[in-house]
Amino acid sequence: MASTSDFSVYYEKNTNAKISADTNSAIVETAGVVPEKTLHRQLKNRHIAMISIGGVIGTGLFLGTGNALENGGPLGLLLGYVVVGTICYSVMVSLGEMITFLPIPGGHIKLAERFVDGAFSFTMGWNYWYNWTIILPAELSAASVLVNFWDKNTKINWVWILVCLVVVVFINFLGAGAYGEAEFIFASIKVLTITGLIIIGIILDLGGGPDHDRLGFRFWKDPGPFVQYRGIPGAKGRFLGWWAVMTQAAFSFIGAEIVAVAAGEAKNPRRNLPKAIRRVYVRIVLFYIGGVFIIGLLVPSNDPGLGLGKGTASASPFVIAIKRSGIKILPHIINACLLTSAWSAASSDMYASSRALYGLAVARNAPAVFKRTTRNGLPWVALLCSAAFSFLAFMSVSSGSGKVFSWFANMTAVAGLLTWFGISVTYIRFYAGAKAQGIDRRTLPYYSNLQPFAAWYAAISCLLISLFSGWSVFLKNNWDTATFVTNYLPLIGFPILYIGAKIVKRTPVVSASRMDFHTGLAEIEAETYDEPPPKNKLEAFWQWLVCVFPVLFDSTV
């Protein structure tokens, strides 16, 4: 991989870019940020590492997979996650090239302004803020579902939601550094939990549980690898069962792009962000694909405990599997770990939504008041505004936590897919601009040989899944207004926002030859340094742990 200085020499030689002493003032003028009060780079290498690996592993995987298994069967569940995993990877390598080159506040929202147009940036920004604002009450609702494992009195769910909300708000108001430390701890617990669950699952499947029942692929045979969706016979029913998994799988994967939002507060971004992008392999292959494969081996798709509409913690297929094996205490331990994952994911949601709103204000697409930060770089106004929407979680007190979680999950999945679509479109334009201006992508801090095909694949796939996300309501006698609205509201809103912004702003699409590839490079260069060697064996082990998987899979490390 070429060094940062190699790129600077190359860029100055081939594009005649002017990187001078007044670049910093140009950055401030472009972003509209008051110099003395802006975001501070407080997130360390280990923070970014754990945020990228486990920061948004949450209730989508631990809880939502119950519905997916019930709808698609074990093979339908696995195939759904594999397909969405390939889309997620395509988005991340596209985002990786851009955000490791220009790790600026606002992330992909500001990059869309540079490489597409202002209206597209406006649309992506508000869609992204909506995405993270809506997912926050979803995680809070899920937390109350998990607590119901011990307390069956669902009438006091509001207490558990309030407790979780206070914890999340407290963590975020301590600043990015405190959020990074909390996520390091919470994400470590989640990584250990999912790793332990996969190991335990293999042991149980091979007959190592208290009942000594060797399951093998028993549930792939009976009730079968696929589910006939809504009793629809033949290949059509099996296909629809698999497609029903796609939206839920998207909800589980959404959030991988949070490293782009964290880029503006990451220390040494040119060194740490490429590592974070490469770690997406670990998350997709080991945690998600491995996790759902184990679920399909241990729990039959017709188990009565599946389905979030029932509103009980037993909807978690991991808890169901351990209870079925006859282990008495472990389900309580696992449920406690899953509860911390809900807190962690909710904390990430609040962090991302507040930074998205801050990025909108920086790009002058939201009121300037949301740019206000404390001396320590905390965007407190944006944080307060985003936190206010978390009270939507109290809807679950009357409607049921499981049902409300499903509603918010649908809305988040589609909004997240549209974010991925926007990132892919931005990269396609970035690729065209680099080609038009003679920039060799191999000199960038991170690049992928799969481009631009990966970006096109992700863009088309995201649109297709979004378009057909609510197809089930059109089946005979299956109309559900809440499902229709929650699936298609983001999809309808995206083009409306873009057309409206286009009319008001009248911003032309940025031509490839005029794209800005150099503003901000001087500041980023100044933030780049070689990481110091490990001080002790513990630090050396940590560096090995976070790098071993990328080395196995990525030749550019």
Provide the residue-wise pLDDT of the chain in tens; the chain has 557 residues: 444 444 444 444 444 433 333 333 333 333 343 344 555 554 555 555 566 565 556 667 777 787 888 888 889 899 999 999 899 889 988 988 888 887 777 778 888 888 998 899 899 888 888 888 887 877 777 777 777 767 666 666 677 777 777 877 787 777 666 777 777 777 777 778 888 888 888 888 888 878 778 888 888 988 888 888 877 888 888 888 888 888 888 888 887 777 666 555 566 666 666 666 666 666 677 778 888 898 888 888 888 777 655 544 445 788 888 877 778 787 778 777 777 777 777 777 788 788 888 878 877 888 888 888 877 777 888 888 888 887 777 765 555 555 666 677 777 788 889 999 999 999 999 999 988 888 888 888 888 888 889 999 999 999 999 888 877 777 777 777 777 887 788 888 899 999 998 998 888 888 888 888 877 666 666 665 555 566 666 666 555 555 544 333 333 33
Instruction: Specify whether the CB–CB gap between 463 and 457 falls below 8 A.
Output: no
- With a pLDDT cut of 90, the percent of the chain lying above it is 7
Closest CA to 439 of 22, 3, 16, 5: 16
Instruction: Specify whether the CB–CB gap between 140 and 58 falls below 8 A.
Output: no
Sign of CA dihedral 49, 52, 55, 61: negative
Cα 51 to Cα 77: distance, rounded to the nearest angstrom = 25
Instruction: Specify whether the CB–CB gap between 56 and 260 falls below 8 A.
Output: no
Instruction: Specify whether the CB–CB gap between 272 and 53 falls below 8 A.
Output: no
- According to the model, what pLDDT value does residue 546 have? 52
- According to the model, what pLDDT value does residue 461 have? 93
Cα 355 to Cα 386: distance, rounded to the nearest angstrom = 9
- According to the model, what pLDDT value does residue 499 have? 92
CA distances from 35 to 32, 372, 434 (A): 9, 11, 30
- According to the model, what pLDDT value does residue 61 have? 76
Q: Is the peptide bond before 452 cis (omega within 30 degrees of 0)?
A: yes
CA distances from 326 to 20, 134, 319, 369 (A): 68, 37, 11, 56
The counts of H helices and E strands in the chain are: 24, 0
Q: Where are the beta strands (DSSP E) in 302-375?
A: none
Q: Which of 531-540's residues contact partners 24+ apart within 8 Å by CB, and which partners?
A: 531/45, 531/268, 531/271
Q: How many angstroms from the chain centroid is the CA of residue 4?
A: 28
Coil, strand or helix at 43? strand
Closest CA to 51 of 453, 380, 344, 271: 344
Q: What is the DSSP string of 254-281?
A: TTTTHHHHHGGGBSSHHHHHHHHHHTHH
- According to the model, what pLDDT value does residue 315 have? 58
Closest CA to 351 of 42, 112, 31: 42
Q: Where are the alpha helices (DSSP H) in 285-329?
A: 290-298, 317-324
CA distances from 517 to 8, 12, 449 (A): 11, 11, 20
Per residue, the 3-state secondary structure of 180-200, as one string, reads HHHHHHHHHHHHHHHHHHHHH
Question: Tokens in use for 8?
Answer: 């600077």
Sign of CA dihedral 170, 176, 182, 186: positive
Name beta bridge partners: 185. none
Name beta bridge partners: 266. 43
Coil, strand or helix at 129? helix
**Phi and psi at residue 221, in whole multiples of 5°?**
-95, -40
Cα 229 to Cα 247: distance, rounded to the nearest angstrom = 15
- According to the model, what pLDDT value does residue 550 have? 39
Cα 420 to Cα 83: distance, rounded to the nearest angstrom = 14
Over the Cα atoms of the chain, what is R_g? 23
Cα 84 to Cα 253: distance, rounded to the nearest angstrom = 8
